[in-house]
Amino acid sequence: MKTIVAVTGASGALYAQRLLQVLSMHEQVREIAFIMSEQGRMLFAHELGVNLSLQKPDLSLIGVSMDKLVAFHPKDW
């Protein structure tokens, strides 16, 4: 299964973090396409104290395995 996770500026970084952790460990999930807006990046910084790059976000900083992750920049879409 392939999954897309998009993070915007709406509150809920903790929910996004947990969703990404669970998906990265799930056997049936082969790929997680991840994209976040600038406001989403600021949300992670404000709510979780983690500064993620829009270009290549290192989600291992929030306990997410990078093995299945494919990160996209907002301008890729």
Q: What is the pLDDT of residues 24-33, one digit of tens each?
A: 999 999 999 9
Tell me how far the alpha carbon of residue 70 is from its chain's centroid: 10
Q: Across the strands, what pairs with 2? A: 31
0.85 exceeded by pTM: yes
pLDDT mean across residues, the chain:
93
Task: For 40-59, write each residue's pLDDT tens digit.
Answer: 999 999 999 999 999 889 99
Domain ranges in the chain are 2-76
* Distance, CA of 75 to chain centre: 16
